[in-house]
Amino acid sequence: MKKFKHILTAKPGSAKENKTGSWRTFKPVIDQEACIGCDMCNKVCPDGICYSTGLKNKKGRIYYDRNLDYCKGCGLCAKECPVNAIKMVEDIK
């Protein structure tokens, strides 16, 4: 087995300890009325920023929101959303 020359600087799952949102280029915007509450965004997010609000939209479905403090703007949530309720928009600061 080959040994690695470099050591990881962050342990897996440490994103909640390190806010990363300040350097992101794009951010997800969720259309809460289009959201069907399928939980796919939560399942594919590498940083676990998507979460169920517990609130219902006009269609009676529980919708999701996100915590942008930890979002890196990868776009996986938007790509995997089955109803295209998530759009990646430029994050202008």
- Give a yes or no: residue 8 inside a domain: no
Per-run averaged pLDDT (10 residues), the chain, 93 residues: 53 63 88 93 90 93 91 93 96 82
Question: Which stretches within 1-93 are classed as H helix?
Answer: 40-44, 76-80
Domain harbouring 36, CATH code: 3.30.70.3270
In a domain, 4, yes or no: no
Q: How far is CA 1 from CA 4, 10, 11, 20, in A?
A: 10, 23, 21, 34
What's the whole-model pTM score? 0.77
Is residue 18 a part of any domain in this protein? no
Residue 59 counted as domain residue:
yes
In the chain, how many domains are there?
Answer: 1
What was the pLDDT predicted at 40? 93
Joined together, the tokens standing for residue 77 give 């949530």
pLDDT of residue 36: 93
Question: Strands, DSSP E only, in 1-93?
Answer: 26-30, 50-56, 62-66, 86-90
pLDDT at 15: 58
